[in-house]
């Protein structure tokens, strides 16, 4: 089955810093998504981004489908950005292990 690798596994930053999270797929996917899991455990849709670039406020994402990776950018981090960020894709919506982001005040 498809493998999804996310890096880094953990990231600790000061408030205001920028960050880049990466997601690699072992095979092509055409339904790549990014999620944020909040402290209550809910999976919040951030981006549906099979290819190209999208932006939503301080967050943006880029997927290079031909090279099977996607990047999530968070600018001017806030403490509310803390949590786990997952990417997922494939017809079974396979998840990576996530990046745990902790923003320090």
Nearer to other proteins among residue 8 and residue 16 (C-beta)? 8
Q: Can you read off the two tokens belonging to residue 16?
A: 């205001």
Beta carbon of residue 45, minimum distance to other proteins (angstroms, whole number): 7
Nearer to other proteins among residue 77 and residue 96 (C-beta)? 96
Nearer to other proteins among residue 28 and residue 75 (C-beta)? 28
Residues within the interface to other proteins (CB under 8 A): 29-31, 33, 35, 40-43, 45, 48, 86, 88, 91-98
Which helix H or strand E contains 87, and what residues bound it? strand 83-89
Closest CA to 12 of 64, 79, 93: 79
């Amino acid at each position: 089955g498809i493998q999804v690798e996310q890096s880094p596994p953990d990231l600790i930053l000061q408030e205001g810093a920028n960050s880049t999270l990466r997601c690699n797929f072992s095979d092509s996917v055409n339904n790549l998504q990014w999620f944020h899991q909040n402290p209550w455990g809910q999976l919040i849709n951030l981006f549906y981004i099979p290819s190209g670039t999208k932006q939503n406020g301080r967050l943006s994402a880029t997927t290079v489908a031909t090279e099977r990776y996607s990047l999530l950018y968070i600018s001017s981090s806030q403490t509310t950005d803390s949590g786990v960020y997952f990417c997922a894709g494939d017809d079974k919506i396979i998840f990576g292990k996530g990046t745990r982001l902790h923003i320090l005040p």
